[in-house]
Structure formats: C-alpha cells, structure tokens
Amino acid sequence: MRRDVKVCVVGKVVRLNSQKVLVLNRILFEYCNLVKWYLTFGSTSKNFLHETGYEKAKRLFNLKTGLIQTARDKAVEILKSFKKTGKRNRVQKIERISIRFDSRTYSFSKTINVLTPYWLSLSLNGKSRTSLPIMFGEKQKLKIDKAFNGDWKFATVEIMKKNSAWYAHFTLTKTIEFNEHPETIIAIDRGEKNLAVAVAILKDSPNKPLKGQFWRGSEIKRTKGLYGHIRRNLGEKKLPKKIKDMRNKEQRKNNQQLHITVNQIIEYAKQFPNSVIVMETLTGIRNIFKASKKLNKRFHSLPFRKLQTIIEYKASLEGMEVRYLTRRQTKNTSKQCHRCGYVTQIKCKRELKCPNCGLKYNRDLNACVNIAHRIMSSVGWGNCDTPELSNEANPQRIS
Ligand SMILES: [Zn+2]
C-alpha cells in the first residue's frame, strides 16, 4: 500500500531590504483581503468559489492567478476548520494567514552564493520575480538537501510574517510503500503512569510477547509542574504576556521531549522485522479516564494527541504503518488477563493478578499484549483465540 507523507521545513528569509519588505507587506495585505473575501461566500466548494469568484477576484485583487487559486484553497481550509472547532480560533486563524505559493508561482534553487546557497524566487504580480535568500538551521538543512537530492519532492511554500521577520515554510512530500504483511506487531499503550509502553509480538509466537519498554514521561510531567507553578504566580500579578511566553516555552520543551521519546519508540520498533504499530483510539482511552474527575483532568493535560501525531509521522518515514483499535476493541484492555481472557476488577497497583489463571503481569504490559492480540486478525494473522483455561493455570499461584 502506498501513501503520501509530508514534512515541513522552515527557513528564515534574510537580507531583506526595505523595498522587498514593502513588496512582501503589500502582497500579504492583498492576499489576506482576498482570503477574507473568499470567506464571505461561506462555501467550502472549490468549484463553486472558482465559478462565482475567480473572474471577479482577478479584477479586484492585484495578484498572480496562481495566488488567487491558493487563496481560495486557503479560505476553504479555514472554513472547514471553523466547522470542526466550532469557530473557536476564528480571529487567530485569519490573523495568521500566510501566502501560499505552488509550483507555478515559485522556484527554489541551490547556488554557490556565499551568504546562503538557498534562494527562493517568487512570482508576486506582473512579470517581475523577487528573489529571497533563505537560511536554515542544521537539521532543517539536512531535510531540504534531501529534496534537492530527489529523495523528497517540493510541494508548496508558505511565506509567513512573525514579529516583523519573514519565514518560508516548505512542504516536502514523498510516496512511501508500506509493507502489507507485517511480521511484528508493536503495541503501544498510553497512560497516566507511563506516558507510553511498547511491546513487540512476532507472528510466529503471538503468545510470547517480547521484552517491553517503558517511557515514563517524567520530564514532561516535571516541566508541567514547574511551569504550572510559575504561571500561577504570574497570574496573580496579572502579567498575561509573560504567561503566554511561558506557555510557548513549555510547549517547545515538551515537543522536544516528545520527539526524543518517539525516536526511542521507533528505535525499539526497528529492532524487529516488518513492524506495524498499533495503538488504541484516543476516544477509547478517554473512556477509561472518565471514571474519575481528577484522572480526567490529567488525561487532558498529557500530550497524547501530539505523541500520536509524531509517532505517525516518524513511523511513516520508516515505512511503518500505524493502526488503531476501534473504540469497541479498546474495551477492557487494561483489565483483561491476556493469557486466559478473564476480566478482573481487582486493582493491585501496577500489577495485574489474574484470579482465574494466576498470571502476574505488569498492568501496562498486559494492556499492550491485549492491544496486539486484538489487531491480529485485521493484519492477516488470523484470530488469537484466548485459550480456554490453559493447563498452565495453577491455582497455587494465586496469592
Ligand atoms: Zn488469566
């Protein structure tokens, strides 16, 4: 199965003279107005907007036709996201509009220039083109060079203004082939105590889970506690700007930590042949947390969604597919004994003690094994029948 993956690389526009700044500001202003104008139609149909608006937009706005089309697409995306989030971020979204260039309106080349080898040439209006030197950080440079080597393809570039500096966001794409016949299932359980726990199960021996790995997420929890404390102090002194800065800083730290965690998860998965990663749906996990108000609050504060996005992204780069259990399949993953299938309500700290077959197992690892067993049939391994009270069951082991 093939799937397109995207990656975004950000560079800073440097050496802007006043004339270029003037041009960029004017184009951004015009482009924002055009997006807002398209929004007034209140339609998410690109065809409709094209038929009713395109000719008029060409007369009303002094922009390249390529830009008129991306402005229309942007309006559609914004409107769709309003519908999803219930117009929550309306003002914010419109204020942060960036100018999108596609292959018709930009070219990007690598030169032997001393300042920076990367030059972006934009076609803004009329026949003139504007060249902008772009600087990248070390990691970003590696990514962008992969596109020049042909590993990735250049898609669009967004020009964005932030605190009077200008940035270019390049979207690169690549088609990745996923293996349709996985030989290993990597089950990942996410929770409050351990941010993530992974267990590998091989096709030949689905009942013998391999050594798992734990990520406690202590750094993220520590950052959370620390910044929460600082924020409360600042809040009392009424310093909203400082609070916002803090939140950004906290987010940056957390993102960094999440990336480190996910890199380790992917390394774990890469030890095994042809892995597919399996997780529960987030709504499924949420149900578990609903039980207690306090836990529910904690659930919302842990970055599970973000963790999931990064896992999906990094896994796809390795050609690993990520699958999810349905909400129904998620039921009782943490309460059911993976060996005999017995569902126990007895909570014994971090351990699951099965009163039926006597199994003693780490609770999170047990949940992982259940997650893996439940996805087996849909990855073509056949059903994993829960053994009827197996011979291994030994009542003496119940303590
Ligand atoms: Zn059991």
Going from the Cα of 354 to the center of ligand 1, the distance in angstroms, rounded, reads 5
- Domain co-membership, 132 together with 203: no
pLDDT value at residue 399: 33
Q: 334-356: per-residue pLDDT in tens?
A: 899 999 999 988 777 788 999 99
Rounded to the nearest integer, the mean pLDDT of the chain is 87
* Last residue within a domain, chosen from 127, 147, 176: 176
pLDDT value at residue 390: 42
Going from the Cα of 292 to the center of ligand 1, the distance in angstroms, rounded, reads 26
pLDDT value at residue 45: 94
Going from the Cα of 344 to the center of ligand 1, the distance in angstroms, rounded, reads 9
Residue 16 has pLDDT above 70, yes or no: yes
Separate counts of helices (H) and strands (E) for the chain? 11, 14
Query: Does the reported pTM lie above 0.85?
Result: no
Rounded to the nearest 5 degrees, what angle is found at the Cα of 203, between the Cα atoms of 2 and 262?
A: 60
Amino acid at 317: L
* Last residue within a domain, chosen from 176, 208, 233: 176
Going from the Cα of 398 to the center of ligand 1, the distance in angstroms, rounded, reads 10
Residue 264 has pLDDT above 90, yes or no: yes
- Domain co-membership, 165 together with 189: no
- Domain co-membership, 322 together with 342: yes
**Pick from 121-130, 277-286, 302-311, 386-395: least confident:** 386-395
Going from the Cα of 337 to the center of ligand 1, the distance in angstroms, rounded, reads 5
Going from the Cα of 265 to the center of ligand 1, the distance in angstroms, rounded, reads 28
Going from the Cα of 349 to the center of ligand 1, the distance in angstroms, rounded, reads 17
User: SS in 3 state form for 89-135?
Assistant: CHHHHHHCCCEEECCCCEEEEECCCCCCCEEEEEECCCCCEEEEEEE
Going from the Cα of 353 to the center of ligand 1, the distance in angstroms, rounded, reads 8
The number of distinct structural domains making up the chain is 2
User: Rounded mean pLDDT of 235-241?
Assistant: 75
Q: 282-290 vs 304-317: helix axis angle to the nearest 10? A: 150
- Domain co-membership, 160 together with 190: no
- Domain co-membership, 206 together with 341: yes
- Domain co-membership, 205 together with 105: no
Going from the Cα of 189 to the center of ligand 1, the distance in angstroms, rounded, reads 19
The residue written with tokens 């829960």 in the block is 386
Going from the Cα of 359 to the center of ligand 1, the distance in angstroms, rounded, reads 5
Share of the chain above pLDDT 90, in %: 58
Confidence of residue 275 (pLDDT cuts 50, 70, 90): very high
pLDDT value at residue 92: 59
Question: What distance in Å separates the CA atoms of residue 362 and residue 350, rounded to the nearest whole number?
Answer: 6
Does 247 fall in a domain? no
Q: Tokens for 71, please give them.
A: 């402005």
Confidence of residue 393 (pLDDT cuts 50, 70, 90): very low
User: Rounded mean pLDDT of 46-67?
Assistant: 94
Going from the Cα of 386 to the center of ligand 1, the distance in angstroms, rounded, reads 10
- Domain co-membership, 128 together with 93: yes
Going from the Cα of 188 to the center of ligand 1, the distance in angstroms, rounded, reads 21
Going from the Cα of 205 to the center of ligand 1, the distance in angstroms, rounded, reads 18
- Domain co-membership, 148 together with 283: no
Going from the Cα of 345 to the center of ligand 1, the distance in angstroms, rounded, reads 13
Query: Which CATH number belongs to the domain containing residue 196 in this structure?
Result: 3.30.420
Question: What distance in Å separates the CA atoms of residue 35 and residue 224, rounded to the nearest whole number?
Answer: 37
Instruction: Please give the residue range of the domain that contains residue 48.
Output: 2-176
Check if the beta carbon of residue 295 is closer than 8 Å to that of residue 289: yes
- Domain co-membership, 168 together with 262: no
Confidence of residue 383 (pLDDT cuts 50, 70, 90): confident
- Domain co-membership, 126 together with 195: no
First to last CA, the chain: 49
Does 246 fall in a domain? no
Going from the Cα of 200 to the center of ligand 1, the distance in angstroms, rounded, reads 20
Does 346 fall in a domain? yes
* Last residue within a domain, chosen from 176, 198, 228: 176
- Domain co-membership, 92 together with 202: no
